[in-house]
Amino acid sequence: MPRFSIIVPSHGVAGRLSLALDSVLAQSFGDLELIPVGDAPGTPAAVLAAGYARRDPRVTPVHSPPSAGLSGARNTGMRAATGDYLLFLDGDDVLAPGALAALDGRLAETGDVDVLYAEHERTPWWEGEPANPAAPLLAKAPKDAFGPARAPDVTGVLLPAWGTAYRRSFVGAHRLVFPDGHFTDVGFGGLVTVHAERVAVLRSVVVRHLLRRQGSRPNLPGDHHLDLLDRVEDVLTRAAGQGLPADRSGPLFEQLFAAVLRTAAHPARLTGRRRRAFFRRAGRLYRRHRPAGYRGPGGSLGVQHRLLATGAYTAFRLLGGANRKACAAARRVPHPRGLRTRWYYRRQLRRPLDPDLAVFCAYWGRGYACNPAAIHAKAAELAPHIRSVFLVEADQAHTMPEGVDHAVIGSRRAWQVLARATYLVNNANFAEGVVKREGSVHVQTQHGTPLKKMGVDQSTYPVVAAATGSFTKLLGRVDRWDYNLSSNTHSTQMWERAFPGSYEQLEYGYPRNDVLLTATAADVIRLRRELGVPEGSTAVLYAPTHRDHRTGFEPGLDLEAFCEAAGEHVVVLLRAHYFYDGGAGRGTGRVIDVTGHRSSEEVCLAADVLVTDYSSIMFDYANLDRPIVVYADDWDVYRETRGVYFDLPAAPPGPVARTPEELARVFRDGSYADAGAAALRAAFRSRFCQFDDGRAAERVVRRVLLGEPPESIAPVRPLAERVPAPAAAPLVRS
């Protein structure tokens, strides 16, 4: 029987689940069982947990349907547990190093208590210092094990379920379970308080809790706040049935109604009739369960207690009105920066949304490209009633295709359409000042599969973090997203982790890659001619990514020398990262600079082989099922300075070369396209080409612009049934 059973619900946190599981398995105290609770077999979290189970026998995954919620997942985990003590951990939290050893050491000092409360650290996503809210409360507790009457303020009502160790036999003897619905921690913690006889505290941090970006559920508006009264009634009814003495029932009653009053006093949580009904029901509970001889607190909280007890809703509602009005008046004062533009935009915001207007933008206004362009084109076909405007920087306006309506970023028309559009589609982010209006739909299409660290995961890499700017502002932009596109489950999990938000993930594939499945041989031949690829040659697309620790473009390879060494049939299509698109060609001889070509997909179609270092273009190019070679001459430096999500040389899409000589050799001997290379590519495609089947744009248009239900959207065609666009040149030459 293990000492600890750690139960980790994982619904909706697959992107960060590995961090939670790693924090448990890395503990110096190893007498444990780890129970991840997933939705169902085959879901991203369940697949991840199954991988851990194969590697470590202490991991025992179980399943609970999402409809059962957090309480159902925890109860399922408890039924599967066999340890002496139960410990709960949210799937996006981590155990502090040494936590289990500290818990075990404290239990050795106190004996087998029913409950061991510990400190926890609440960590904001970016700005702000971590807080330890339990520390002041636990500091008042006795140093040894104690009966609850000695420290009645130490209850589970004020402490979360995670970070507390519960003796499993105690929980089972009293048939304690997490109640359904919301505020399940309040209900469970209150019931534990009613029944516990021996309690102890550990004055050190056990769990590091990552504060949810959109705030905890109890702070958000909605009818779920009515569940709080159900939990309060459950606990007080059980306390009365147990005959809990006044010295214990008084503090429990006060803590429960402190939570009730916080909700009743918050105008945004419950509005109108529901708020009044909440208050009246709370008053009835207050009067029915108030302990004999109970005297409420002093100060303004005491005033709220008295108003609740007497049912004086109108007086209660007006109590905090003056402060709220003052705060609202301060927020209405306009900022002086860009005053004329800001006022114009604000006036436009007062006009109604245009239900048939969509605004698109790609790469911060670099032109008509990537996923936004593919969705724009498909919308013209399937949703012709939608009027689309593409935003573009002034110096790129001349590159826009004929017939595509566009506006220059920063112009009055650009701000006008941004204010009134119902649909806003971008592969990066719209300007900082863009307001997310109620009823508008923001679609983040992304522009690649993440190998390198993205979003808030960049924060621990100083060079990258310095270039990124404010992570708080970044997360504010994420809060505008309604949908986020993904081309594989790896991306789904990493986006969830790097860009935490309440958006819906659309695992539809990348619309820009549709053409890689739908283009014909004639298209390929035409594109090669347009790019100047000599007939009969092998076109090697060389597409290096940028280096955050360097300034300016450095090809990293002598391309003319490579052509000479690789063979007379080889030409190179050089596509530098778009950061370095200066408009001037760098090609000479057998090197053709295609950096300025607007479509990376067309360049991919024209190429017979891809050579890249760590660029995300490899994930897109893999859809063509053509050879890929990784040139990883500085992988160790890149990994340390930029950060990566997986070890590319250990799971590459083809041969890995570390030097120019190795790179030339795989072309001379044909191993870049042999059976070994094909096997590597097949495994890579299975992992990263899951959803790109040529119909991604159609799925997005139907779901987002036409409002079709998810179940009516065409499913993704299996990888084995897809036929990529044909290559032009033979893949292996003598």
pLDDT digit string (tens) for 268-311?
788 778 888 899 999 999 999 999 888 888 877 888 898 899 88
- The reported pLDDT for the residue numbered 596 is 84
Average pLDDT of the residues in 253-263 = 90
Average pLDDT of the residues in 410-432 = 93
Model confidence band, residue 720 (pLDDT cutoffs 50, 70, 90)? very high
Structure tokens at 97: 């190093």
Asked whether residue 730 carries a pLDDT value surpassing 80, the answer given is no
Average pLDDT of the residues in 141-166 = 91
Those residues whose C-beta lies under 8 Å from the C-beta of residue 518, and which sit 6 or more positions away, are 694, 725
The Cα–Cα gap between 484 and 506 comes to: 6
CA 367 distance to own-chain centroid: 28
442-461 burial, b for 16+ CB within 10 Å, e for fewer? bbbbbbbbbbbbbbbbbbeb
Model confidence band, residue 247 (pLDDT cutoffs 50, 70, 90)? confident
- The reported pLDDT for the residue numbered 580 is 43
Asked whether residue 432 carries a pLDDT value surpassing 60, the answer given is yes
Those residues whose C-beta lies under 8 Å from the C-beta of residue 627, and which sit 6 or more positions away, are 608, 609, 610, 654, 672, 673, 677, 681, 731
Cα–Cα distances (Å) from 151 to 87, 113, 389, in that order, read 22, 15, 65
The Cα–Cα gap between 60 and 81 comes to: 9
pLDDT digit string (tens) for 190-205?
999 999 999 999 999 9
- The reported pLDDT for the residue numbered 217 is 61
Percentage of residues in the chain with pLDDT exceeding 90?
A: 66
Asked whether residue 603 carries a pLDDT value surpassing 80, the answer given is yes
Asked whether residue 734 carries a pLDDT value surpassing 50, the answer given is no
- The reported pLDDT for the residue numbered 588 is 60
pLDDT digit string (tens) for 174-230?
999 999 988 999 999 999 999 999 999 999 999 999 887 655 666 667 778 889 999
Strand locations in 402-464 (E): 406-408, 421-426, 441-444
- The reported pLDDT for the residue numbered 268 is 78
pLDDT digit string (tens) for 552-572?
556 678 899 999 998 888 999
Strand locations in 623-671 (E): 628-631, 656-657
